[in-house]
Amino acid sequence: MFTNFDFDVIRRSLAYLFLDGMTFTLMLTGLSAVGGLVFGTLIALMRLSDFRVLGRIAGLYVDLIRSLPLVLVIFWFYFLVPYIAQWLTGSSRPVPVGAFTSSLVTFIMFEAAYFSEIMRAGIQSIAKGQPAAAQALGLTYGQTMRYVVLPQAFRNMLPVLLTQTIVLFQDTSLVYVVSITDFLGAASKVAERDGRLVEMYLFAAMVYFVISCFASFGVRRLQARIAIVR
């Protein structure tokens, strides 16, 4: 099977694959994770709010996003949003959004929906006596959330948040469909250029597998350490 396997094509492409492709993949993963966590926390607070309208709006958003294929939303944002922006602004031509902006906004939207459920579970895991005690000491609702509830919820949910980030790292390979040079996109370009599809796609799969395995191992170690501290 590996008689005609060309290892040299992998060696020649390492700089391009990692300096261009993997750098972009990690950047997109980091930005999407941070943005998703920020907006996801806000959505979680909306769902737990005493204002039912906010809770229903947040719930509908989460249910809608989690019911759509991610690749479909990437396509939708990339191809349709320029025309929607043209209609809203009255421009004579579609407003360019760009592949990177489309992908980043799409991933933030998706991760916000998933992170919101994780954070909501974390907030609900905090004993009700702690917010009550904070309010008894004179802290406002915002101060209670900022200084008492959210730090503990974030710590409790940190392993789950990191696990979701690993899933996000794998999902970023979908930007290949809008011709962005992420790690998979770089591997695909080398494969088509040199006619070595088996070598490049197998190598790309191995890299994703190794990184995800090491990251998952780190999350398990972190989870065990947190459990010991408790």
pLDDT tens digits along 146-168: 888 888 888 889 999 999 999 99
Six-digit token string for 208 = 């994703």
pLDDT at residue 220 above 80?
yes
Range of the domain at 141: 7-229
d(CA 110, CA 25) in angstroms, rounded, equals: 17
d(CA 174, CA 168) in angstroms, rounded, equals: 10
pLDDT tens, position by position, 109-137? 999 999 999 999 998 888 888 888 888 88
- Quick check: is 141 in a domain? yes
pTM > 0.85? yes
The structural domain count of the chain equals: 1
pLDDT tens, position by position, 178-187? 889 899 999 9
- Quick check: is 218 in a domain? yes
Sole residue written with tokens 């790309």:
204
Six-digit token string for 98 = 């760009």
d(CA 26, CA 172) in angstroms, rounded, equals: 9
- Quick check: is 140 in a domain? yes
CATH code (residue 51) = 1.10.3720.10
- Quick check: is 2 in a domain? no
- Quick check: is 1 in a domain? no
Six-digit token string for 151 = 């730090």
